[in-house]
Chains A and B, each alone.
Chain A
Amino acid sequence: MNKLIRVVVADDHTVVRQGLCALLSAQSDLTVVGQTGEGLEVVDLVSKHKPDVLVLDLMLPNVSGFDIARQVAKLHPRCRVLILSMHATKAYVAEALRCGAAGYALKASDATEILRAIQEIAAGRRYLPPSISEADLEPYETRDSGEFDPYDTLTGRERQVLKMVAEGLTNAAVADKLSISPRTVEIHRANAMRKLDLQNHAALVRYAVKRGLISVEND
Chain B
Amino acid sequence: MENFGSQVWTDLLAKLNALSADRLRLENELQQVNALLLEAQNAALSASRSQRETIQLFVQLTSALPVVFWILESATLNVLFVSPSFETLTGLPSSDLLKDITVWRKIVHPEDMPALAERLQRLRTLEAMPDTERTFRIVRATDRAVRYVRIMVFPIFDAQGQPYRRAALLEDITERHSAEQQLRQSIDFQNSIFANAEIGIVVLAQQARFLAWNRYMEETTGFSEQDVLKGKHADVLVPSHPLLRGSEPALRGETHTEAPCVVRHHRTNREIWGQLNWGPLRDARGGISGAIGLMRDVTEQLSTEQRLRASEAMFRTLAEGSPDGLLLTQGSTIQYVNPTLLRITGYESKELIGADQAQLLPEVERDRVLPRMAEFLQKPDAQCREALELYLVRKDGRLVHVSGQSAHVHLQEGAATLTIIRDLTERDHAAGLQKNLDRERAQRSRTLEALQMVQDLSRRLANAQETESRRVARELHDDIGQLLTGLKLSLQRVDPAKIEDDTGRTALHNAQELVGDIVERVRRLSLELRPTILDDLGLFPTLRWLAERYERMMHIRVQLLARGVDRRFPPELESTAYRIAQEALTNVARHAKVNEATVRIWSDGVHLGLQIEDHGQGFHPEGSLSARQAAGLSGMMERARLLGGTCTIESRPGEGTRVTAELPLQPAAPEGLLEMQDALSRPSEPSEPNAGQTAQR
Contact = CB atoms under 8 A, between A and B. Distances in A.
16 contacts: A13-B485, A15-B483, A23-B493, A64-B536, A86-B481, A86-B485, A90-B545, A108-B520, A145-B560, A147-B561, A148-B600, A152-B611, A155-B694, A194-B604, A194-B606, A195-B602
A150 interface: yes
A155 B607 contact: no
A150 B536 contact: no
Given A89-B545, A108-B519, A156 B690 contact: yes
Interface string B471-488: 000000110011101111
A143 B254 CA distance: 105
A179 B684 CA distance: 8
Contacts of A59: 478, 482
A210 interface: no
Interface string B631-665: 00000000000000000101000000010101000
Nearest to B545: A91
A145 B562 contact: yes
Contacts of B490: 15, 19
Interface of A: 13, 15-16, 19-20, 22-23, 58-59, 64, 66, 86-92, 94-95, 107-108, 110-111, 139-140, 143-145, 147-148, 150, 152-157, 159-160, 178-179, 184, 187, 191, 194-195, 197
Contacts of B691: 156-157
Nearest to A86: B481
Given A145-B561, A157-B692, 16 more contacts: A13-B482, A16-B482, A107-B485, A108-B488, A108-B519, A139-B544, A144-B564, A144-B565, A144-B566, A145-B560, A148-B602, A152-B598, A153-B609, A155-B648, A156-B658, A191-B662
Given A23-B489, A86-B477, A155-B690, A150 B537 contact: no
A104 to B, nearest CB: 13
A110 B492 contact: yes
Interface in B603-641: 604, 606-607, 609, 611, 613
Nearest to A152: B600
A89 B533 CA distance: 9
Contact of B565 (A66, A94, A143): A143
B609 A195 contact: yes
Given A91-B542, A178-B684, A187 B696 contact: yes
B485 A16 contact: yes
A81 B523 CA distance: 24
B563 A144 contact: yes
Interface centre among B478, B606, B613 (most CB of A within 10 A): B478
Contacts of A152: 561, 598, 600, 611, 613
A91 B533 contact: yes
B493 A22 contact: yes
Contacts of A187: 696
A86 B478 contact: yes
A184 B560 CA distance: 30
A58 B559 CA distance: 29
A148 B485 contact: no
Contacts of A191: 662
A219 to B, nearest CB: 28
Contacts of A91: 533, 537, 541-542, 544-545
Interface string B552-594: 0000000111111110000000000000000000000000000
Interface of B: 477-478, 481-483, 485-490, 492-493, 516, 519-520, 523, 532-533, 536-537, 540-542, 544-545, 548, 559-566, 598, 600, 602, 604, 606-607, 609, 611, 613, 648, 650, 658, 660, 662, 684, 688-692, 694, 696
A128 to B, nearest CB: 16
B472 to A, nearest CB: 15
A89 B598 CA distance: 22
A91 B536 CA distance: 10
Nearest to B487: A15
A21 to B, nearest CB: 11
B541 A144 contact: no
Given A86-B523, A156-B650, A197-B604, A143 B562 contact: yes
Nearest to A149: B561
Contact of A19 (B493, B604, B648, B658): B493
The 9 closest A-B pairs by CB, nearest first: A156-B690, A15-B486, A91-B541, A143-B566, A19-B489, A13-B482, A107-B485, A148-B563, A148-B561
A86 B527 CA distance: 12
Contacts of B561: 145, 147-148, 152
B486 A13 contact: yes
A101 B69 CA distance: 144
A95 B537 contact: yes
A94 B548 CA distance: 14
Contact of A94 (B487, B541, B648, B694): B541
Contacts of A184: 696
A64 B650 CA distance: 40
Interface centre among B483, B493, B533, B561 (most CB of A within 10 A): B561
B663 to A, nearest CB: 13
Nearest to B690: A156
A178 B540 CA distance: 36
B270 to A, nearest CB: 36
A191 B540 CA distance: 23
B144 to A, nearest CB: 79
A92 B662 CA distance: 27
